[in-house]
Amino acid sequence: MNSVLSLSAVLAGIAVAGIAVQRIKPEIEPPVGVAGVEAHETNGAVSLIGQFRTTVSGSLWVRSDLYLHNGVQMRPLTEQELKSNVKGVHSADGLDGEMHGGEGRMVTVVPSRDRDFRGIFGDIDRATSSYKDMSNHEHNPPKAALPLFRLMTMFDPNFIQGWTVAATLLSWEKNRQAYELAVQHLKNGISENPKSVLIRNEIAFTYARSLGDLKTAKNYFEQARALLNSGEAMNDDEREGGLLTYRWLYWINRDLGLSAKQKTLISEGLSHYKDDPVLLHAQEAMNIVPTRRG
Amino acid sequence: MKVWFALAKGVVLESLRRKDLWVVAILGFLMMISAGALGFFGFEGLQAFAKDLAATVLGLFSTVIAVITTARLMPDEIKNRTLYPLLARPIRRLDLLIGKLLGAIFVTWMSFLLLCIATGLALLVFRVQFEPIMAQYVLCKLLGLAVLCSLTFALSTIMTQAAAATVSFIFAFGSSMITRALVMAHESNPRGAGYGFKVLNGVLPQFGLFDLGGRAANMNWGPVPIWVIGSLFAYAIVYSSAMLFISWMKFNRQAI
């Protein structure tokens, strides 16, 4: 009888502790995900399912790069390598620039013979792993990686890069049909992420650069601008994306001949990004007297 | 030779009695179910992903089986006192070690091949076609698993079962990473510690060289040249013999 009572007391204690611990959840969960960790910890979800799906999407993201390089593993140059003038490889089609934010900053994980000290071990490594000389390399057709992006966004609809990079891949054929497909895909992304500046920017880029429709592009940039000014909490990536929103809105208004609007935009943009050289240059060009805010 | 195979047979039978292979069969079944579930969603164009996933899962499970099977062999024999009747027979200690190691390698190979069959069936769901590189992948993996078994076996004669298993896992999953770190360090500073890096790299077990998963999973990679397979075979023989020698040095001096 005593043991039953003790067990009941222990179980009741665990239950009370379990309910009480929920109260500290808001304290330990950040209101905004940390950029860069986003692929793994979207929404700060601590549930098992949440962690599983974001880990899967993060893993698929890494895999997609691998498939585009047909299995050849690449890595960014370290800071020390950059200082030592180690040369990275370039892609012939510019896709590495799209995915990694710059060309010539990547090298193969398995080193080429001239970079390798391992002798015969290195030769065998190059023969058994998926290695080839990647100087001026080309990629597998980007569309081959699309199923992975479909999986990524299916597992984790809040993985923003899954939507934006997939749109770049969708529009790779550079024709109207491809661009419209990319826009449709991004609109699906917005329905899953209604507060995303980055996805709105991507739609606006497609309209402005590829479809030549500045007015629709302006609409989407204005939506992004409204989000930036709404005071909504957002991560660093989204906030940095806002810089492009202001720059592009400035250029589009210039091309549409809306100079009064330009001045407001520059002042507002500088209030968010006070050191941006493009906006500062525009401010100087338009003879705007800087206010205390920017 | 006859003694070696008799001892190896004993290890295989013991493994069957312990139902180790059932675990493998269940893992294989789970793999097929998972593949079936992915196939149910109709993911066209995911063949490379399926092959990549298969190679990763095969590598992971076979490594776990190799280490767990091998690490317990000698410590269990001593702990259960089954070593004494064995040594009471006209068997040299070296023969005992060779027989046990061969048994561990056979059990690991059987498990790996069972998993390969299950994976092959799972890949059929994705309509993945057979390529010669896949046969080379299996062959090289078998050689790599033999090296892993010999390393774990040597460690199990030097340290406790748990420690041997842990250290083996570290080498199995970390040796490629250490090698990459050495290469990167050498690239950043080619003049520094060049000879030391070569020696360290030579001593480290090169498990990564036996893994053709990257080539097998992706498209249009041709088969590996014969000289490479020959070199891997020679390396496996030399490294396994060295590990066996270390085991014998320790076990031969051990008072039982």
Instruction: Give percent helix, percent strand, percent coil of chain A, each to the nearest 5.
Output: 65, 5, 30
Determine the distance from the C-alpha atom of residue A230 to the mean position of all C-alpha atoms in its chain, rounded to a whole number. 21
Chain B CB contacts of A124 below 8 Å: 206, 209, 228, 231-232
Rounded Cα distance, A259 and A256, in Å? 9
Rounded Cα distance, A67 and A141, in Å? 10
Which residues in B33-46 are b (16+ Cβ under 10 Å) and which e? eebeebbeeebeeb
**For residue A142, what pLDDT is reported?**
73
Rounded Cα distance, A117 and A272, in Å? 50
For the segment A71-93, what is each residue's pLDDT rounded down to a tens digit? 888 888 877 777 777 777 776 66
ipTM value of the model?
0.85
Determine the distance from the C-alpha atom of residue A67 to the mean position of all C-alpha atoms in its chain, rounded to a whole number. 19
Q: In angstroms, what separates the C-alpha of A73 from chain B's closest C-alpha?
A: 9
Segment B228-232 shows an average pLDDT of 95
**For residue A39, what pLDDT is reported?**
45
Element (H, E) at A75: strand A74-76
Q: What is the pTM of this model?
A: 0.74
Q: In angstroms, what separates the C-alpha of B122 from chain A's closest C-alpha?
A: 19
- Torsion angles phi and psi, residue A74, rounded to 5: -120, 155
**For residue A51, what pLDDT is reported?**
56
Residues from B in contact with A at Cβ < 8 Å: 43-46, 48-49, 52, 140, 179-180, 182-184, 186-190, 194, 197-198, 201-202, 206, 208-212, 214-215, 217-221, 224-225, 228, 231-232
* Cβ within 8 Å, pair B197-A150: no
- Percent of chain A at pLDDT exceeding 70: 81
Total domain count, chain B: 1
Q: Which of B188, B201, B206, B238 to mutate to test the interface with A (most CBs of A within 10 A)?
A: B188
**For residue B230, what pLDDT is reported?**
95
Is A157 in a helix, a strand, or coil? coil
Per-residue confidence band for A40, with pLDDT thresholds at 50, 70 and 90: very low
| Residue B42: closest C-alpha in chain A | A147
For A130, which of B182, B188, B218 is closest by C-beta distance? B218
* Cβ within 8 Å, pair A67-B46: no
Q: Contact, A171 vs A178, CB < 8 A?
A: yes
For B188, which of A84, A129, A146 is closest by C-beta distance? A84
* Cβ within 8 Å, pair A128-B212: yes
* Cβ within 8 Å, pair B48-A128: no
**For residue B106, what pLDDT is reported?**
94
- Torsion angles phi and psi, residue A130, rounded to 5: -80, 80
Rounded Cα distance, A266 and A246, in Å? 7
Segment A44-63 shows an average pLDDT of 61
For the segment A225-251, what is each residue's pLDDT rounded down to a tens digit? 999 888 777 788 888 888 899 999 988
**For residue B35, what pLDDT is reported?**
67
| C-alpha distance from residue B79 to each of A134, B73, B75, B113, B161 (Å) | 55, 10, 6, 31, 11
Instruction: Judge whether residue A292 has pLDDT over 90.
Output: no
Contacts (Cβ under 8 Å, ≥6 apart) of B44: A147
Q: Let me know how long chain A is.
A: 294
**For residue A262, what pLDDT is reported?**
80
For B218, which of A70, A84, A151 is closest by C-beta distance? A70
Q: Contact, B149 vs B101, CB < 8 A?
A: yes
Segment B177-190 shows an average pLDDT of 80
Chain A CB contacts of B201 below 8 Å: 117-118, 121
Is A232 in a helix, a strand, or coil? coil
For the segment B48-84, what is each residue's pLDDT rounded down to a tens digit? 777 888 888 889 889 999 999 999 988 888 888 888 8
Q: In angstroms, what separates the C-alpha of A127 from chain B's closest C-alpha?
A: 6
- Looking at per-residue pLDDT, the higher value among A90 and B96 belongs to B96
* Cβ within 8 Å, pair B210-A127: no
Lowest mean pLDDT among A289-293, B73-77, B243-247: A289-293
For the segment A181-214, what is each residue's pLDDT rounded down to a tens digit? 899 999 999 999 999 999 999 999 999 988 889 8
Instruction: Judge whether residue A98 has pLDDT over 60.
Output: no
For A117, which of B43, B197, B217 is closest by C-beta distance? B197
What is the DSSP track for chain B? -HHHHHHHHHHHHHHHHTTHHHHHHHHHHHHHHHHHHHHHTT-TT-HHHHHHHHHHHHHHHHHHHHHHHHHTHHHHHHHTT-HHHHHHSS--HHHHHHHHHHHHHHHHHHHHHHHHHHHHHHHHHTTPPP-HHHHHHHHHHHHHHHHHHHHHHHHHHHS-HHHHHHHHHHHHHHHHHHHHHHHHHHHH-TTSSHHHHHHHHHHS--GGGG--HHHHHSTTPPPPPHHHHHHHHHHHHHHHHHHHHHHHHHHHH---
Residue span of the structural domain in which B159 resides: 2-253
